[in-house]
C-alpha cells in the first residue's frame, strides 16, 4: 500500500499482487487460520497465475489442508474466485526438509530428495513421466517450490545417472522472495 499526495488530494494505491493478500483472504475464509488452529507457514506467489501455500497445525486432530479447502472445496474456491481464477496449491508444511520439498513440488510425485544442509541445496528425483509436471510450465512449479521452501532445488529424472550430492548451481531460488511466517 502506498499513499501519494496529488493536487486532488491524497491517493491510496493498493497492491493485489503481494503474497500477504492471499494470507489475509485465507484468514477471512478459514476460521481455523483466523483463530490460530492452522498456521500459514509460507507463501510463494506469481500473481494472476499460481500460489503455493504451506500450512501446519499443532493440533493432531486438525487436517490443515482440509480446513483450508473446506467442505466440497468451498473455502478455497471462494479465494480462487476472488483472485480471478489464480490456481492455489495448498501443501502441508513439515520440519523435515525432504518431506516439505517433496510436498512443495506437488502435483508431481517425488521418488527421492537428497538434502545438503550446506547451501540449502537439494537434488530431487522424479519419475521420467513426471519431470515436466515437477518443473511446471516455464519452470513455474520448481520456482514456486524453491520460493516456498527456501531451498535450491535441482530436479532430475529417475533415468538420469545418480550423482553423489546436489550441485552448487542448483536451479532457481530467490531467498528474499519467500514470505515465511515463524
User: Taking residues 131-142, what's their average pLDDT?
Assistant: 96
- Rounded to an integer, the average pLDDT of 54-76 is 97
- Tell me what the mean pLDDT of segment 33-46 comes to: 97
Taking the alpha carbons at both ends of the chain, their separation in whole angstroms is 23
Q: Note whether 103 and 92 are within 8 A (CB).
A: yes
Q: How many CA atoms lie within 13 A of 171 on its CB side?
A: 21
Query: What is the spatial distance between Cα 31 and Cα 11, in angstroms, rounded to a whole number?
Result: 33
Where along the chain do its domains lie? 1-91, 94-182
This prediction's pTM:
0.81
d(CA 83, CA 69): 15
CATH architecture of the domain 1-91 equals 2-Layer Sandwich (3.30)
Taking only the tens place, the pLDDT of each residue in 70-128 is: 999 999 999 999 999 999 999 999 999 999 999 999 999 999 999 998 889 999 999 99
- Ramachandran assignment for 36, one of left (phi > 0), alpha (psi -120 to 50 degrees), beta (any other): left
Q: Do domains 1-91 and 94-182 have the same CATH topology?
A: yes
Length of the chain: 182
Q: For domain 94-182, is the CATH number 3.30.300.20?
A: yes
User: What are the grid coordinates assigned to 131, written together?
Assistant: 519431470
Torsion over CA: 85, 56, 147, 101 (sign): negative
Please report the pLDDT score of residue 182 as a whole number. 42
What is the average per-residue pLDDT within 35-60? 96
Judged on CB neighbours under 10 Å (0-12, 13-18, 19+), 18 is middle
Query: Pick from 123, 173, 126: which is nearest to 152 by CA?
Result: 173
Amino acid at each position: 500500500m502506498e499513499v501519494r499526495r496529488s493536487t486532488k488530494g491524497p491517493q491510496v494505491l493498493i497492491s493485489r499482487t503481494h503474497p500477504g493478500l492471499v494470507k489475509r483472504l485465507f484468514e477471512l475464509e478459514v476460521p481455523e487460520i483466523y483463530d490460530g488452529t492452522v498456521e500459514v507457514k509460507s507463501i510463494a506467489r506469481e500473481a494472476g497465475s499460481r500460489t503455493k501455500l504451506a500450512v501446519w497445525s499443532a493440533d493432531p486432530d486438525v487436517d490443515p489442508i482440509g480446513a483450508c479447502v473446506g467442505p466440497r472445496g468451498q473455502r478455497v474456491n471462494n479465494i480462487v474466485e476472488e483472485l480471478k481464477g489464480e490456481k492455489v496449491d495448498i501443501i502441508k508444511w513439515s520440519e523435515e526438509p525432504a518431506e516439505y520439498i517433496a510436498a512443495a513440488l506437488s502435483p508431481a510425485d517425488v521418488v527421492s530428495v537428497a538434502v545438503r544442509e550446506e547451501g540449502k541445496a537439494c537434488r530431487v528425483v522424479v519419475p521420467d513421466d513426471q519431470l515436466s509436471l515437477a518443473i511446471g510450465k516455464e519452470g513455474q512449479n520448481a520456482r514456486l517450490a524453491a520460493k516456498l521452501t527456501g531451498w535450491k532445488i535441482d530436479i532430475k529424472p529417475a533415468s538420469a545417472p545418480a550423482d553423489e550430492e546436489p550441485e552448487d548451481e542448483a536451479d532457481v531460488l530467490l531467498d528474499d522472495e519467500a514470505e515465511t511466517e515463524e
